[in-house]
Amino acid sequence: MSPSPAKDAAQLARRLRALAHDLGWSWCPLAKRAFAGLDPALWDALRHAPLELVDAVHPARLAARAADAGYVALVDAAERERERRLAARTWYERAHAKRDGDLRVAYFCSEFALHESLPQYSGGLGVLAGDHLKSASDLGVPLCGVGLLYRHGYYVQEFAADGATRVLYPTQDFTRLPVVDTGAVIECPLGNGVVRAKVWRLQVGRVPLYLLDADLPGAPAKHRELTQGLYKGGPELRLRQQLLLGVGGLLALDAVDERPTVLHLNEGHAAFANVERLRRLVAGGLDLEAARARVAATTVFTTHTPVPAGHDRYDPRLVAKHARPLLRALGLSREAFADLGRERAGDRDEPLCMTVLGLHTADHVNGVSVLHGRVSREMWTGAYGVTDPAAVPIGAITNGVHARTWLPPEAEALYARWLKPNWHTAGPHDDPWARADAIPDAELWALRRTLRARLVHFLRGRLAAQALRRGASAEEVAAAWTTFDEDALTLAFARRFATYKRAPLIFREAKRLARLLGDAERPVQLVFAGKAHPDDHGGQSYAQEVHRWAREEGFAGRVALLEEYDLEVGRMLTSGADVWLNNPIRPHEASGTSGMKPPLVGGLNVSILDGWWPEGFDGENGWAVGDERELADPAARDARDAKALLRVLEREVVPCFYDRDRNGVPRAWVARMRHALKTLPGTFNTHRMVGDYVAQAYLPAHRAR
């Protein structure tokens, strides 16, 4: 006798929930198809949140899927794929486990961007951290993550009718997220008291991510606020959050029986973890300098920005107030403790800098591109007490992106045919993209057209929804559904709206830009997306300026600004845009990983030579804007760069895109697409990046115990 329909439906729901609790589904096409196939419209409406989907789907639809042999076979295949993926012998097992099988890395970061349904990130730092965990899982690197679980996440962005930013803070229901209560609750000393925090676990393939939650029922409000919002509140709250992340993060690892041999501090936010390690070693009988040497030998520290505002600095009195238990245990005065994070020891006017604290307690330090490594050596000579940047021991491990996270299914299918079925199982230094010559021009161009059309459809839906939320007229909503052209050259500018990234730069040459966009024979269209920090009024004013230009005559219908730049918007733009624009103030862009994503599907970069682009650009795989000269005068610099940007677009990019053969294929453009695919993803990916961390940092630190 066969099971009842209700039992079949319940079993299907259990199986889907089990799949959802391993974030490995987020970069595996079979699992994504299984969730989407349950109820495609609801899947999109719920921002691709699988547990919410299973809970919200109508029982009749769930029963229908359970009775559909084709759908059940898809779920079967997704489960088998997960089992094979987790059982496979990994690169780390093959290359390093024999000698260093006891390596265990604890990777601390204040934010992790793993999927749009988990809004625990603000921008590039979190995206990099999420991709790092995914590649560590694929490669089998013994690593766990440590962070905070934020009740409100970052914030949801909306634009008012005048382009002003509205900041909304939704509340996350953790029971509807794929996090598991470990049962551990830690007590973190903070100020004169103790903060209790629950430890949740989020499974990312082979990698567990432990997240602290202090927003507990019955806890004091000043404790609950510690994990309510990401980068929310003033300096004192951020300092307390960073104490919880660093000190509490180590306590959480103890509580779940993780015994790391190496700590990787991804930016200075978690640097108090090393102070807690000092405390433990001093309590065990070591003097402070010997303890510092031991901690530093086993710490990897990555700095991410040359922008001064990106390095948290705190008044020593404030630090002493909240880190009092650490001061007492180390036997340090307020000023002596502050010296751990000062460039000039004994300078009472200098605050404690979290980046300097990280530099002083880590032997393995790196920037995130070759250029950023150089800038960091120049920037931190004072922290090392030297005048020659060459004497500063800061190296460089250039960032990358996790390829399968950013690839659309159409590209996965194409590469499975031409790069062979297992192209995505490559090790850190394998390069399946070198085989891209095998892909016919017509198929590469067809992929580009498909992805651009999909982006235009997505844009129309988003713009119509934005208009409806603003109470726009029926005519404006209708216009949104017809905006943009599926066949027009599409440029995108999407990233955090920090002022140094200069989002509105292209409008300095407004008349030239209007002519470029309005050419009936060779149309061009431009889409923007990005968030500024809620307190970054300069960045918000840039968004407002772009919003205003998008409504001006000559730009309306050809320029668009999307709300809520999240991972879904990022995937759509990086895959659908023909050209990725980047025009920061050199050398302020430490790396800029967004530009590494379009080449995965034949997108081309047009960029200032900053961040990773000086390493990637070879003259044929995109375009450089200007040269490497750095001007001190802001007005002269912006005028020069805007003119150079329009010159590249007018003289090179647009003619190349619209020069077609008799079959409508732009052969020179496709050649650049193919060359970008061959020369960039093979290097600028997180498999290579994590492999570099293993060889250059993790194993040396592990062996120095």
- What span, in angstroms and rounded, lies between the C-alpha atoms of 490 and 80? 39
Q: Does residue 277 fall inside a structural domain? A: yes
Around Cβ 240, how many Cβ atoms within 10 Å?
Answer: 24
Whether residue 244 lies inside any domain: the answer is: yes
Question: Do the domain assignments include residue 205?
Answer: yes
| Mean pLDDT of all residues in 409-418 | 92
Cα 254 from chain centroid (whole Å) = 28
Tokens of 247: 């000190």
Collapsed DSSP state (helix, strand, coil) of residue 268:
helix
Q: What is the mean pLDDT of the chain?
A: 95
Q: Are residues 240 and 346 in the same domain?
A: yes
Do 365 and 481 belong together in one domain?
no
Structure tokens at 10: 């319940």
What single letter denotes the amino acid at residue 110?
Answer: S
Shared domain for 561 and 697, answered yes or no, is no
pLDDT category, 232, cuts 50, 70, 90?
A: confident
Q: Looking at residue 451, which CATH number applies to its domain?
A: 3.40.50.2000
Torsion of CA 404, 410, 413, 414, to 10 degrees: -100
Q: Are residues 531 and 443 part of one domain?
A: yes
**Which whole number is the average pLDDT over 286-307?**
96
Nearest-5° Cα angle at 389, 128 to 385: 100
pTM for the model stands at 0.97
Tell whether 407 is covered by a domain.
no
pLDDT band at 117 (very low <50, low <70, confident <90, very high): very high
For 163, phi then psi, to 5°, come to 90, 0
Q: What token pair was written down for 552?
A: 């001006």
| Length reported for the chain | 705
Q: Specify the DSSP class assigned to residue 650.
A: I
Distances in Å between the alpha carbon of 48 and those of 44, 76, 183, 461, 691? 6, 20, 28, 16, 31
Kindly state whether residues 224 and 345 are assigned to the same domain: yes
CA-nearest of 254, 244, 127 to 593 is 127
Average of per-residue pLDDT across 613-630: 95
Kindly state the average pLDDT of the residues 411-419. Answer: 92
CB contact at 8 A, 212 and 186: yes
Encoding tokens for residue 693? 């961390």
Tokens representing residue 414 in the block: 């194409």
Is residue 3 scored above 70 in pLDDT? no
Per-residue pLDDT band for 552 (boundaries 50, 70, 90) equals very high
Which stretches of 92-213 are assigned E, i.e. beta strand?
A: 105-108, 143-148, 156-159, 165-168, 179-190, 193-204, 207-213
| CA nearest to 527, candidates 470, 484, 589 | 484
- Segment (H or E) for 66: helix 59-66
Whether residue 457 is found in the same domain as residue 320: no
Q: How far is CA 325 from CA 190, 226, 623, in A?
A: 7, 18, 54
Answer yes or no: do 156 and 286 share one domain.
Answer: yes
Instruction: Give, in order, the Cα–Cα distances in Å from 179 to each of 21, 23, 266.
Output: 7, 10, 22
> What is the predicted pLDDT for the residue at 2?
54
Q: Is the pLDDT of residue 422 over 90?
A: no
Closest CA to 184 of 146, 213, 149: 213
Predicted pLDDT of residue 207: 98
Residue 286: pLDDT over 80: yes
Burial class, 238, CB count within 10 angstroms (exposed 0-12 / middle 13-18 / buried 19+): middle
Rounded distance between C-alpha atoms, residue 367 and residue 303, angstroms = 5
Quick one: which H or E segment has residue 275?
helix 272-283
Please name the amino acid found at residue 375: V
Using the 3D structure, point to which of 40, 60, 87 is the last residue of a domain: 87
Strand order in the sheet with 105-108: 179-190, 193-204, 207-213, 143-148, 105-108, 262-266, 299-302, 364-367, 394-396
Tell me how far apart the alpha carbons of residues 258 and 506 are, in angstroms, rounded to a whole number. 50
Note whether residue 504 is domain-resident. Answer: yes
**Rounded distance between C-alpha atoms, residue 490 and residue 503, angstroms:** 16
CA gap 373, 696 in Å, rounded: 15
Looking at the structure of the chain, the number of domains it has is 3
Under 8 Å between Cβ of 610 and 669 = no
Residue with tokens 């180390």: 330
Residue 199 pLDDT > 60: yes
* 187 and 73 inside one domain: no
* Residue range 464-492, pLDDT digits in tens: 999 999 999 999 999 999 999 999 999 99
C-alpha–C-alpha distance, residues 230 and 234, integer Å: 11
**699 and 677 in one domain?**
no
Domain end point (choices 23, 57, 87): 87
Element housing 637 (H / E): helix 634-648
Mean pLDDT throughout 450-456? 98
Residues 228 and 334 in one domain: yes
Task: Please report which confidence band the pLDDT of residue 1 belongs to, taking 50, 70 and 90 as the band edges.
Answer: very low
H/E segment holding residue 294: helix 288-297
Is 619 part of any domain? yes
Find the domain containing 659 and state its range: 437-684
H-helix or E-strand spanning residue 581: strand 579-582
- Contact at 8 Å (CB) between 134 and 149? no
Q: Is the pLDDT of residue 222 over 70?
A: yes
Terminal CA-CA length for the chain:
62
Q: How many CA atoms lie within 13 A of 593 on its CB side?
A: 28
Domain-located, residue 420: no
Whole-number pLDDT of residue 347: 94
Q: Give per-residue pLDDT as tens, 301-353.
A: 999 989 887 899 999 999 999 999 999 999 999 999 999 999 999 999 999 99
DSSP H or E stretch at residue 20: helix 5-20
Report the pLDDT averaged over residues 387-391: 97
Q: Are residues 49 and 125 in the same domain?
A: no
Residue 231 φ/ψ region, left for φ over 0, alpha for ψ in the -120 to 50 degree band, beta for the rest? left
CA 567 to chain centre: 8
Mean per-residue pLDDT, 635-659: 97
Residue 8 tokens, joined:
């079949």
Are 153 and 182 within one domain? yes
Lowest mean pLDDT among 30-44, 91-105, 373-387, 410-424: 410-424
Q: How many CB atoms lie within 10 A of CB 437?
A: 10
416 occurs within a structural domain: no
